[in-house]
Amino acid sequence: MTISSRARSLFAVLSVIFFLLSSYASWTLSSRAISQSPFYLTLVISAITSFNLPILFGWIGFGVLGGAAITAGTIFFVLLLDFRMGYSAHQIVTITFLVTAAIGYLFARSKNRSDQLYILESERTEEEINILANEVKEKNKGIKALEGKLMKYSAFKDIAESLSTTLSTDAISSLFMERTPKILGKSGRVLLFLVDALRQELMLLASSVKNEAVIKAKKGDVFDHWILRHRKPLIIEDVKRDFRFPAEGAEAASGVFNSLIAAPLMSENKVIGILRVDSAQELAFSQDDLRLLDIISNLAAVAIQNSMFYARTQELAIRDGLTGLRVRRFFTESLRREVKRAARRREQLSLLMLDIDHFKEYNDKYGHAAGDNILQHLSQLITGILGEDDVAGRYGGEEIAILLWRKKKKDAIAQAEKIRKLVKDSPVILKDNVASVTVSIGIATFPEDALSEEEMIRIADQRLYKAKAEGRDRVCSA
């Protein structure tokens, strides 16, 4: 049983109003009833009896203390009224006041108990609501965290899908420069280093900085070298306070970055590179950021390793395994393409067909390994003096073809003589013996000598054999 505060206030007001009305009525009527007029005595008794109503309302409105005060005040007022009238019969009416007060008291106790139960229940309900609200809040946090993880995993999925469509190292590095800050949700400079397998030193492959000229440590700094040595991820919250590194490390970082995370790119238990993110702010990164970067670096390591394998496979497909020169198929395709371009642009190009003089004799005297050594030696000499756009290929056996782009007949003759003299003046060591090697060279020029790649090859080959027939160690261009 509960009563609202507004209802209790209403009962309290009614109690006061009825108390005043009953008091006024009984006091006024008592003045006329002093003459012991039966009619007025009856009215006085009725007025006194009406005090039961404010007593009951008082218990309801004011509670135990207020109800007791209203009851005591009423009894006192009736006794005062009797004393004024000299009439004690009204004291019997006060018994009804006590009965009404008892009823009010029982009601007040019941109401207080109900109020207490209501308060306890309200507190319990409020506590449960708070618990539920906290649970909802925690679940919302968990949902947001899961949404964040889902976004990151989705970003990883996008990277994996993008990597499946490209094998270019440049495209792969650009992808990681773009996606790494988005996955981490942090701004900063992203650097990707690769390890030079021969020199065992770091080389900057890519960065998120538009002007890479401003990057001073293109071979890495003390922090990158630490990762290269220890082969594990690194987080630095403040480079000025990290005592693992010498003071010059902080000085080098001054004005560029103050915190960083970096992870090695591992392949077959070897470090092939380093992926690093640094920031000008201190405490910019957390351990969660480092874990994410470690995952990204694993993806980068696999992608870059695959791109290297692909590039090597492509290189092996177009290069001769012994000499490193282009294979015959690739060379003839290049010649066909360049002849068409020269015809379209009305330019000239020349073809040299080169053959090692007395090659069989070297094989017979020193063995077939000696012939391989001569071919390797000759290939190194030729590639060392060719222009950037020129192409040299192993045409067959000891025969080498050289495409000279935009070279006229006289330029081709000069280049051929240069090669012939270089070979003659560069002896090769065969089984601890110094052997002098010479070559014969035939030349054909487009469009002066031929108008197609097949005709150029035929004419250059004819002139090669002419040079051999005329005594070898010479260049034949006509």
**pLDDT given for residue 41 in this prediction:** 65
pLDDT, mean of residues 65-85: 77
Name the least confident of 185-199, 207-221, 349-363, 430-444.
207-221
Q: Are 415 and 352 in contact (CB under 8 A)?
A: yes
pLDDT, mean of residues 452-461: 91
**pLDDT given for residue 350 in this prediction:** 94
**pLDDT given for residue 261 in this prediction:** 93
Whether 1 has a pLDDT exceeding 60, the answer reads no
Domain-embedded: residue 152:
no
My answer on whether 292 and 185 are in the same domain is yes
pLDDT category, 190, cuts 50, 70, 90? very high
My answer on whether 342 and 293 are in the same domain is no
Domain-embedded: residue 244:
yes
Domain-embedded: residue 153:
no
pLDDT, mean of residues 453-466: 92
Whether 170 has a pLDDT exceeding 70, the answer reads yes
pLDDT digits (tens, 9 = 90+) for 370-427: 888 888 888 899 988 888 888 888 888 888 999 998 888 999 999 999 999 999 998 8
Q: Containing domain of residue 43, as a range?
A: 5-124
Whether 459 has a pLDDT exceeding 90, the answer reads yes
**pLDDT given for residue 71 in this prediction:** 81
Q: Are 350 and 387 in contact (CB under 8 A)?
A: no
Domain-embedded: residue 214:
yes
CB burial of 101-140 (b: ≥16 within 10 Å; e: otherwise) equals: beebbebbeebeeebeeeeeeeeeeeeeeeeeeeeeeeee
Catalytic machinery residues: 398
**pLDDT given for residue 3 in this prediction:** 61
**pLDDT given for residue 211 in this prediction:** 67
My answer on whether 415 and 332 are in the same domain is yes
pLDDT, mean of residues 429-450: 87
The CATH number of the domain where 420 resides is what?
Answer: 3.30.70.270
pLDDT category, 114, cuts 50, 70, 90? confident
My answer on whether 313 and 350 are in the same domain is no
In total, how many domains does the chain have?
Answer: 3
**pLDDT given for residue 443 in this prediction:** 93
My answer on whether 309 and 447 are in the same domain is no
Given 317, 352, 385, the domain boundary residue is 317
Domain-embedded: residue 38:
yes
pLDDT digits (tens, 9 = 90+) for 293-338: 998 898 888 888 888 887 777 666 777 878 888 888 888 888 898 9
- What is each CA distance from 104 to 18, 71, 74, in whole angstroms? 16, 10, 14
Whether 265 has a pLDDT exceeding 90, the answer reads yes
Task: Give pTM, 2 decimals.
Answer: 0.52
My answer on whether 306 and 346 are in the same domain is no
Q: Are 326 and 391 in contact (CB under 8 A)?
A: yes
Whether 151 has a pLDDT exceeding 80, the answer reads no
My answer on whether 426 and 373 are in the same domain is yes
Given 64, 95, 124, the domain boundary residue is 124
Name the least confident of 126-135, 258-267, 428-437.
428-437
Ranked by mean pLDDT, the top range of 46-50, 184-188, 271-275 is: 271-275
**pLDDT given for residue 152 in this prediction:** 66
pLDDT, mean of residues 97-120: 76
Tell me the Cα Rg of the chain.
53
Pairing of strands 475-476, 439-446: parallel
My answer on whether 62 and 188 are in the same domain is no
320: Cβ–Cβ under 8 A, 6 or more apart, which residues?
326, 327, 393, 394
Q: Are 401 and 415 in contact (CB under 8 A)?
A: no
Mean of the per-residue pLDDT values for the chain?
82
- DSSP character string of 367-424: -HHHHHHHHHHHHHHHHHHS-TT-EEEEEETTEEEEEEET--HHHHHHHHHHHHHHHH
pLDDT category, 86, cuts 50, 70, 90? low
Q: Are 261 and 284 in contact (CB under 8 A)?
A: no
Domain-embedded: residue 150:
no
**pLDDT given for residue 49 in this prediction:** 77
My answer on whether 310 and 366 are in the same domain is no
The CATH number of the domain where 281 resides is what?
Answer: 3.30.450.40
- What is each CA distance from 18 to 11, 45, 52, 116, 204, in whole angstroms? 10, 16, 9, 29, 97
Whether 34 has a pLDDT exceeding 60, the answer reads no
Domain-embedded: residue 451:
yes
My answer on whether 365 and 454 are in the same domain is yes
My answer on whether 83 and 173 are in the same domain is no
- DSSP character string of 412-454: HHHHHHHHHHHHHTS-EEETTEEE---EEEEEEEETTT-SSHH
Given 317, 338, 370, the domain boundary residue is 317
My answer on whether 203 and 296 are in the same domain is yes
Domain-embedded: residue 157:
no
